Amino acid sequence: MLSGSCLCGGIRYEVKGALFEALNCHCSMCRKAQGAAFRSRARVRAADFHWIAGEDLVTFYESSPDNHRGFCRICGSPILTKFDSDKSVFSFVQPGDVFGRVSKYELEWHSSILR
């Protein structure tokens, strides 16, 4: 099981199932959203993701149709993206707290869709 939090600690969560389709996304939207050269993310099944605290602090920004990027409204940490078209899965983005435990091999997959 993986667990983590946002920077301020107001949001805490647990992931009880496997992360999958991990990659580093280099698209311009992810670079802006993360303030970094790329965004590390993985898919997680919604049923495997559990809010422990602070779900009310998560604010969603619809960066493109269907794509709602969720972040902590206190500290700004990105947490996950949810999709109108598929509510069974989230795109999970907590590289600092959790991705150190995702295998390096998985993160060698890169997406470079330019927008």
Tell me the closest approach of the beta carbon of residue 28 to Zn ion, in angstroms: 8
Residue 84 CB neighbour total at 10 angstroms: 10
Among 12, 23, 27, 48, binds Zn ion (CB under 5 A): 27
- Regarding 19 and contact with Zn ion (CB under 5 A), the answer is no
Interface with Zn ion: number of residues (CB under 5 A) = 9
Identified binder of Zn ion from the candidate list 58, 72, 89, 93, rule CB under 5 A: 72
| CA–CA distance, 52 with 66 (Å, rounded to integer) | 25
**46 near Zn ion, judged by CB under 5 A:** no
Nearer to Zn ion, 9 or 17 (CB): 9
**Among residues 25 and 102, whose Cβ is nearest to Zn ion?**
25
CA nearest to 92, candidates 102, 113, 78, 103: 78
Residue 104: CB atoms within 10 A of its CB come to: 8
Gap between the Cα atoms of 83 and 63, Å rounded = 11
Of 15-23, 73-81, 85-93, 101-109, which segment contacts Zn ion by CB under 5 A?
Answer: 73-81
The verdict on 75 binding Zn ion (CB under 5 A) reads yes
Nearer to Zn ion, 20 or 47 (CB): 20
Helices (H), the chain: 28-34, 95-98, 104-107
